Amino acid sequence: MQYPEPIAKLIDSYMHLPGIGEKTATRLAFYTINLPQADVDQFAAALQAVKRNLKYCSICGNVTEDDPCQICRDQSRDQSKVIVVEDSKDVMSLERMNEYHGLYHVLHGVLSPMEGKGPDDLNITALVKRLQTHPTITEVIVATNATPEGEATAMYLSRLLKPAGIKITRLAHGLAVGSDIEYADEMTLYKAIEGRQEI
């Protein structure tokens, strides 16, 4: 005995999503049957619209409806700073802070020899070209994640771009605001001491 075909197909589609196994996919599929028709139509339309209407900005690589993206088009933003991030979600996190008004560059990943990801697989050539054609940019802030791959990518970018006379900086490491020293790991504590500042 199999599930009726429409359910089996929907379970299969849900299982294509990351972190969703057969049990969860089955639960979601049965839940879908009882969703209002309008919600399901909207969901289906949203799925296809995301594929159809989104592209990557030809300047910074961020996802956008219009090329160039809203941030790259905005001349009121600080044109001298570029924050380099791993993916588009990071742009959103930094924008939410509402304190940074410069530009961004999205790498779409990090260097990872284990996964066979080299510099050519990232949006790095466009960054180099961007810095050459936009001499207004004087500082590149590398905001890759605090993982071994993120650090390696930051080092790589630093060596690649420094010779051109551009200031390369890296986000500070240290204790998260509101966190306990008791529960901080050794590396974080080490970085926090190393980066201590006079008060």
**Which residues are near its own copies by CB under 8 A?**
1, 3-7, 9-10, 12-14, 16-19, 24, 26-33, 35, 37, 39-54, 63-65, 70-71, 87-89, 92, 95-96
Residue 75, φ and ψ in degrees, nearest 5: -75, -10
Considering only CA atoms, which of 148, 170, 147 is closest in space to residue 159?
Answer: 170
Rounded distance between C-alpha atoms, residue 121 and residue 156, angstroms: 14
Place of tokens 């905001």: 143
Q: Which is nearer to its own copies, 10 or 84 (CB)?
A: 10
| Distance in Å, CB of 107 to its own copies, minimum | 14
Residue 11, φ and ψ in degrees, nearest 5: -60, -45
Rounded distance between C-alpha atoms, residue 11 and residue 57, angstroms: 33
Residue 195, φ and ψ in degrees, nearest 5: -100, 20
| Distance in Å, CB of 172 to its own copies, minimum | 23
Considering only CA atoms, which of 129, 145, 148, 149 is closest in space to residue 137?
Answer: 129
